[in-house]
Chain A
Amino acid sequence: MSELSLERGLNALRAEIDAPVAAFFSSCVHCGLCAEACLFYVETGDPKYTPITKLEPLRRVWEAEFTLFGRLKGLFGLNKKVTDEMLAEWEPLLYDSCSMCARCSMVCPVGNDIQYMIRKTREGMVAAGHAPEGLITAAARAVRTGSPMGLKWKTLQVQIDHVEASSGLQVPVDAEGADYLVMLSSMEIINFPEYLEAITKIFDHAGVSWTLSTDCYEATNAGIQIGNKDIAATLVQRIVDAAVKLKVKNVISPECGHAYTAVRWEGPNLIGKSYPFRVFHIIEVLEELRASGRIKTEGKEMDRLSLHDPCNLARKSGVIQQQRNLMDLVADNFVDLKEHGRYQWCCGAGGGVSSNERAAELKMTAFKRKKAQIEEVAPERMVTMCATCRTQLEEGLEDFNMDIPVVGLTEMIAEHLVEKNGDRKQ
C-alpha cells in the first residue's frame, strides 16, 4: 500500500475530471461574479478567495492534459505545473475558505457548478496528503468509532434515559419494521439533546412509528467534508446496512446539512446502488405531518423570530417553503432575512470548516455576513434546523456580543403540541 503522495494526488485530480468539469472550465468567462457570491471573499475582500481561483490545481491539470492548447503549451514548456508546494499553498483555500455552500454555483452566469468542483479537488488534496488535521482526525474517528466526535452508544443511552425520564415516553431502539429510522449527529447528541426529546414527543403525538439503531446512529459524513469517496462510501454503507437490517421504509437524516446531502444525494452514487428506503430531513417529515393534519399545536411565539436556512437544505435541496409553513404554525411575528431560501448566505461553518481549527478566525470573519443580515431585520431570536449552523450562529452571535438566542425549529414545534389528552380527535 503506497503512501499519499503528489503523484497520487495528481492522479486523483485526473480521475475526477469528467465531462461537466471540462465543460465548466472551458465555459468560464472570468467574469468574477462568483467572488461577489462568496462570503469568504465578500468579508475579506481578498481576491484569492474568489471561488474559481480555489480550483486552480484542478484547472491546471485539466488545461495541461485535457486541452489542445495546454498540450501545445506543454510542448514549449509553458505549462505551470502543479507541485507539492502549490497544493500546500492551496490547502487553506480549499478547506478553510469554502463551506461548500454553493452560492457561487448558483450565480455563475454560465452555470458552472463550482462547489461540485471543490468537492472533486478535495479528492486530489486528500490523495496528495494535504488535508487539515481536524478533518483527518474527524474522518479517522468516524470510521473507527462511528462518530466524528468519537461518541459511543453509551453516551447516547444516557441521553435516551434523560429523555425518557423527562417526557415519560419510550424511545424506541432497534425496533424492526418501523416506518422511520432516525439518525443523529454527534452535535445533536452532545449539544442539543432537546432535539431527540422533541422528535420523541412529536412522533408520539402524531402516532409515527420510528426507531434508533444501535448499529448506526450517527450519519454525519466526514468523508464528504474531507473530500474522499472511499471514506464517504464506508460511512454511507453503514447507514444502509442498519436500515436494511431493521427493514425500515424511511431514514431521517440528522439535522446536520451536509449529512443530509451526503446520504440523500451523494450516497447511492458513492456505494453504486440505489437504496431500498427513502431519505428525508426531519423538516420534510414534519411538514408532511402538518399538511395531513397530524400535528396539532396551541399557542404561538409572540417575539420577533427570523430563520436561517441551511445551505444544504435550502439552496442545494430546495427545502424552503416547508420550514416556513412550520414556522407559521407556531410563530406570530416571523420575519424573513432579506436574502433567504435559495439566496441564503452561508453561516460560514459548513463543508468541514467547523472541524478545522486552523480556520477558526476566518470562520468568524465570514460570519460577519450573517451578522449583517441578522442586524438588518433585528429579530429577538433566530431559528434554524441544522446543528452545525446552530452552533456557528450561537458562537458567532456571542462573539460579536449580540444577545440573540438561537432555537431549533423542531424543538419549537414540540413545545406547542396540544397535550395528549386534549382534543386529539381524528
Chain B
Amino acid sequence: MATQKTLGESLREHGVTRRGFLKFCAATASMMALPPTMTSAIAAALDKARRPSVIWLSFQECTGCTESLTRSHSPTVENLILDIISLDYHHTLQAASGDAAEEARLAAMKENWGSYLVVVDGSLPGPGSNMGYSTIAGHSNLDILKETVEGAAAVVAVGTCAAFGGLPRAYPNPTGAVAVQDIITNKPIINVSGCPPIPTVITGVLAQYLTFGTLPEMDDYKRPLAFFGQSIHDRCYRRPFYDKGLFAETFDDEGAKAGWCLYRLGCKGPSTYNACATMRWNAGTSWPVESGHPCLGCSEPDFWDAGGFYQALSVPTANATHTLAVAGVAGAVVGGVAAAVAKKQQRHAVADREPVTIEQLEQRL
C-alpha cells in the first residue's frame, strides 16, 4: 500500500509545483551545509523515493511536536511530505481509533517489515514504573514501542521528551519517564530534540534520510550534526554584545532596548545546540532571542531542571554526574557590576605597561 507511489508522484498529485519542490530541496541542502549544486541531486533522489512507510507513535507528550509540524506555515512541501509519509499510523492525525487503528499499525509493520521508520514523540513510563500512566488500546507504551520497533529500519525520536525524557521526566519524575534511547538499544536512533523541534529540522532529517538512504552524521546525543552542530550562542546575532561584556540586566532596561546580550537574564544559548538562530521560527519570522527572550535550552537533556529559566546559566542537576558542582550563579550575577571603575583601571594598566626585553628576561636565569 504505502510503498507503491514515488514521493514525486504523490507530491504532484497534491498539486506541489516543481518550483516549490526545488525550493524545498534548496533549503534542505543549505540546512545540511551542502553546496547549492546538490539541490538537483536531492530533488532527483526525493522524486524517485518510494513513499516510505512511517509509523508515528505518541506517548507522554503535549502534542506540541505534531502541532509544530502541522500548524507550520502551510501548505508547504514540508507538511505535505509529512502528510504523505505519516498516513500509515499516527495516533493524533488518523481517523481510525481503537482496535482499528492498532490493526492498521500491525498491517503497516507486516507489509514494510525491515524498511519502515518509526517516529516517536513523547517519553514513556520506564520499566519498573506503573504502566497505567500511559496506555493505548490497553497496551502500555513500553510494549507498543518494543513491538513496533522490531521491524523498523530506524527510530526517529522527535522532541525533547522522546529524545531525552523532556518535561515528563523533570524532577521528581512521577511517572518514571524515560527516553526512547533508554529502551531501544538495537536500532539506529536519531534524536531530533527541541521543545518543540523546528518543523523544517524534522522534515530536513526525513528528507536527508530519504535522499541519501543513510543515517545522518550525529553528535554525542545522537542529534544530526547538520542541524545541531552549532550552539545558539555561536550563531546568535547578539553575540557581539556578549563578547564586549554588554548585558541586559532586566527586560526593560536600556540594555534590553539596545538589544544587548540576554545572558544575565538566563539565556542558555551558550550551552544549547539547535538551529533556531539560523532557521528561526514561523517561516523564518523570528526566534526567541530576537523577540527579547533568553533561550531556555529546550533541545538539551534535562533542560527543565537546569535551574531557573531566568537565572544566568547553570547546569542541569540531573546531568551533574561526576565532579560537577552546581554553582557560579551568584558569581555570574555579581560579575561586571564594577565595570566602569574597572575599565579605568585597565586603561591605566595598559598605559603603564613597559615592554619586556630579553635582557630583563635573562637577568632571571
A-to-B contact residues, CB < 8 Å: 1-4, 8, 11-12, 14-15, 17-20, 22-23, 25-33, 35-36, 65-71, 109-111, 126-127, 129-131, 133, 136-137, 139-140, 143-144, 226, 228, 230-231
A126, B243: Cβ atoms under 8 Å? no
Determine the distance from Cα of A233 to Cα of B290 in the docked complex, in whole angstroms: 41
Cβ of B314 within 8 Å of any chain A Cβ, yes or no, is: yes
**A residues less than 8 Å from B324 (CB atoms):** 30-33
CB distance from B356 to the nearest CB of A (A): 5
Which single residue of chain B is at the shortest CB-CB distance from A7? B352
Cβ of B4 within 8 Å of any chain A Cβ, yes or no, is: no
B358, A231: Cβ atoms under 8 Å? yes
Determine the distance from Cα of A18 to Cα of B362 in the docked complex, in whole angstroms: 29
**Stretch from B27-35, B89-97, B106-114, B331-339 contacting the other chain:** B331-339
**B residues less than 8 Å from A144 (CB atoms):** 358
* From A109, A139, A143, A226, contact of B270 by CB (8 A): A109
**B residues less than 8 Å from A20 (CB atoms):** 243, 245
**A residues less than 8 Å from B7 (CB atoms):** none
A67, B365: Cβ atoms under 8 Å? no
Which single residue of chain A is at the shortest CB-CB distance from B350? A15
CB distance from A241 to the nearest CB of B (A): 19
B365, A8: Cβ atoms under 8 Å? no
* From A17, A23, A32, A140, contact of B361 by CB (8 A): A140
CB distance from A343 to the nearest CB of B (A): 10
Which single residue of chain B is at the shortest CB-CB distance from A61? B349
**A residues less than 8 Å from B327 (CB atoms):** 29-30
Determine the distance from Cα of A110 to Cα of B363 in the docked complex, in whole angstroms: 41
* From B312, B349, B361, contact of A126 by CB (8 A): B361
* A-B pairs with beta carbons under 8 Å apart, 26 shown: A8-B354, A11-B352, A12-B353, A15-B352, A15-B353, A19-B244, A22-B339, A23-B242, A23-B243, A26-B334, A27-B313, A27-B332, A28-B331, A29-B327, A30-B324, A30-B327, A31-B325, A36-B322, A68-B337, A109-B270, A110-B313, A111-B233, A111-B234, A130-B364, A137-B365, A140-B362
* From A11, A66, A228, contact of B342 by CB (8 A): A66
Question: CB within 8 Å of A: which of B174-233?
Answer: 231, 233
* From B332, B342, B356, contact of A127 by CB (8 A): B356
A31, B354: Cβ atoms under 8 Å? no
A2, B245: Cβ atoms under 8 Å? no
Cβ of B123 within 8 Å of any chain A Cβ, yes or no, is: no
B263, A27: Cβ atoms under 8 Å? yes
Determine the distance from Cα of A174 to Cα of B365 in the docked complex, in whole angstroms: 37
Which single residue of chain A is at the shortest CB-CB distance from B244? A19
Q: A15-B346, A20-B243, A26-B331 are in contact. Are A131 and B364 (CB under 8 A)?
A: yes
Determine the distance from Cα of A107 to Cα of B360 in the docked complex, in whole angstroms: 37
**A residues less than 8 Å from B365 (CB atoms):** 133, 136-137
A230, B336: Cβ atoms under 8 Å? no
Determine the distance from Cα of A3 to Cα of B263 in the docked complex, in whole angstroms: 42
Determine the distance from Cα of A109 to Cα of B338 in the docked complex, in whole angstroms: 26
Judged by DSSP, the binding face of A is helix
Question: CB within 8 Å of A: which of B232-284?
Answer: 233-234, 242-245, 263, 270-271
B336, A67: Cβ atoms under 8 Å? yes
Which single residue of chain A is at the shortest CB-CB distance from B360? A4
Question: CB within 8 Å of A: which of B294-340?
Answer: 312-315, 320, 322-329, 331-332, 334-339
Q: How many Cβ-Cβ contacts under 8 Å join chain A to chain B?
A: 145
Cβ of B285 within 8 Å of any chain A Cβ, yes or no, is: no
B349, A1: Cβ atoms under 8 Å? no
Residue from A22, A29, A69, A71 having most chain B Cβ neighbours under 10 A: A29
B345, A26: Cβ atoms under 8 Å? no
**B residues less than 8 Å from A19 (CB atoms):** 243-245
B-to-A contact residues, CB < 8 Å: 231, 233-234, 242-245, 263, 270-271, 312-315, 320, 322-329, 331-332, 334-339, 342, 345-346, 349-350, 352-358, 360-365
Determine the distance from Cα of A35 to Cα of B364 in the docked complex, in whole angstroms: 32
Determine the distance from Cα of A57 to Cα of B229 in the docked complex, in whole angstroms: 34
**B residues less than 8 Å from A129 (CB atoms):** 360-361, 363-364
CB distance from B270 to the nearest CB of A (A): 5
B243, A67: Cβ atoms under 8 Å? no
CB distance from A393 to the nearest CB of B (A): 27
Which single residue of chain A is at the shortest CB-CB distance from B338? A68
B331, A126: Cβ atoms under 8 Å? no
CB distance from A346 to the nearest CB of B (A): 20
**A residues less than 8 Å from B312 (CB atoms):** 27
**B residues less than 8 Å from A140 (CB atoms):** 358, 361-362
CB distance from B259 to the nearest CB of A (A): 17
CB distance from A61 to the nearest CB of B (A): 10
Determine the distance from Cα of A27 to Cα of B334 in the docked complex, in whole angstroms: 11
A111, B270: Cβ atoms under 8 Å? yes
**A residues less than 8 Å from B331 (CB atoms):** 26, 28, 69
Which single residue of chain A is at the shortest CB-CB distance from B331? A26
Which single residue of chain B is at the shortest CB-CB distance from A127? B356
Determine the distance from Cα of A307 to Cα of B363 in the docked complex, in whole angstroms: 42
CB distance from B115 to the nearest CB of A (A): 31
Determine the distance from Cα of A23 to Cα of B270 in the docked complex, in whole angstroms: 12
* From B234, B320, B338, B364, contact of A4 by CB (8 A): B364
